A and B are shown apart, each in its own frame.
Chain A
């Protein structure tokens, strides 16, 4: 057993049984959630969404519109929950913060030269401090994948720790960009480095690289969180992001979290979906269960 305070030697993180992971995920995907539990699950999903816009063409108007949507997902559905947070670039944080006012919705900002992370340390720190000063409640950083793949784990670790420091009170989500990490072994290793270096959340992807979130990498990261919790007693959040656009898939993710980490993680404090089009699909499913007829996107706000 390792000492709690010690940093483990990351060369010896456990390797992953890829075939085993695929089988486990395949079994989770056979689960069919229906009726009342489905409605409950879908409301939970809505409440776990980080409504995201991360585009070069983002404007204050687009961000304000998204913030309005975050607060009023679909007025035709009574007691519709709000999303957990909106996720924007640092330059849009203030606009989002003002637009959300005193609603309970958080503002998350990407930082550290998102999405590539190819910038000097000072720039990444400035980027992060700026976002927090502007009012970001959460910071989504990217790790240096090049350094990680070159085996420079110390660099990756130190960088995360430094950014965590710069975050102050804001919660830190560490994006591993699993689509660039090549193997599940690397995903596990990067998860451990991030958690030990001070991540509050680990997040799969930027959404700019294919593949983005998959159930396989999410499962590996959830298992890393579970082991970390067993070892240190500290809870770490999980955020799959990118490519989750249907409520059926999102329900499978929820089920996987419940199976792997248990009910404690089933709230937006510990689990999030990074998504832009998921909300509408979930809303359409909710309306379907209310009205009994299949819905059309014509009746929902554009996202």
Chain B
């Protein structure tokens, strides 16, 4: 007897839960032959707002967590992704790539998670500084996470672009609300299922699907978003975002990296979303310098 295939419902990921969009809307991305891929949530500004609330709530405990433990958790994501690679490869193929390309993309995504695992307890050491000053002070600068970061993921990949943009941000102790690729959204939600079973606390990464054009202005204007990473490809949208973001003085970065390339393994993607705190500590004498040099 013929069997009816059970099609997966792709829901969004907010605060460790998988709600449907509050708007009840969906869209149907197509594959290269014009066949529907799946029904996917068309997130609204309220979903975005809810996601920011979840990310803000999660920020305190994530940023204060021991760096080494953050690394352990990101490594765990890699482990879980490895275990479910077949599903990701299948989705990437469905979205128009060859089997070989799909395998390569999943391999690279896992490796990239491991790459940033290593940086978790090292970027502070590498990028913090002891500064020479002309007075009797021990003067040092350390990095602190910016806060809640909104990300518009690259449009041209389903998995590697998502992983490569959000993982450096959470490596640095920030929390993230990411809008997945509009045309290639399948892996994003499956990735949320991986996160959900990887010891990643609720709210650290929140994943929405939908239209950049609809959510862009809310991402830019929301006062509780501290920074934005724009990895999509509309230059005009980027400038619009920068203008809106200036109202609440938030950082906006744009990246055009090719995420399949090694250049995307880059600690500066971590430091982009760090603030520098400099402390002047009174001291008699340090490193041979005295107050009269």
Contact = CB atoms under 8 A, between A and B. Distances in A.
Interface of A: 292-299
Nearest to B244: A293
Interface of B: 49, 52, 56, 218, 221-224, 247-248
Contacts of B56: 297
Top 8 nearest A-B pairs (CB, nearest first) are A296-B224, A293-B221, A296-B223, A294-B222, A295-B223, A294-B49, A294-B223, A293-B223
Contacts of B49: 294
A299 to B, nearest CB: 7
Nearest to B52: A294
A295 B218 CA distance: 11
Main secondary structure of the interface of A (DSSP, over half): loop
Contacts of A299: 223
20 contacts: A292-B221, A293-B221, A293-B222, A293-B223, A293-B247, A293-B248, A294-B49, A294-B218, A294-B221, A294-B223, A295-B223, A295-B224, A296-B222, A296-B223, A296-B224, A296-B248, A297-B56, A298-B223, A298-B224, A299-B223
Contacts of A295: 223-224
Contacts of A298: 223-224
Contacts of B218: 293-294
Contacts of B52: 294
Question: Among the interface residues A294, A295, A298, A299, which one has the most CB atoms of the partner chain B within 10 A?
Answer: A294
B40 to A, nearest CB: 24
A297 B56 CA distance: 10
Nearest to B218: A294
A297 B52 CA distance: 12
Contacts of B224: 294-298
A292 B223 CA distance: 11
Contacts of B221: 292-294
Contacts of B248: 293, 296
Contacts of A292: 221
Nearest to B224: A296
Nearest to A287: B223
A152 B51 CA distance: 49
B146 to A, nearest CB: 13
A70 B248 CA distance: 27
Nearest to A299: B223
B70 to A, nearest CB: 24
A200 B37 CA distance: 62
Nearest to A295: B223
Nearest to B226: A296
A294 B218 CA distance: 8
Contacts of A294: 49, 52, 218, 221-224
Contacts of A297: 56, 224
B121 to A, nearest CB: 29
B218 to A, nearest CB: 7
Nearest to B248: A296
Contacts of A296: 222-224, 248
Nearest to B49: A294
Question: Among the interface residues A295, A296, A298, which one has the most CB atoms of the partner chain B within 10 A?
Answer: A296
Contacts of B247: 293
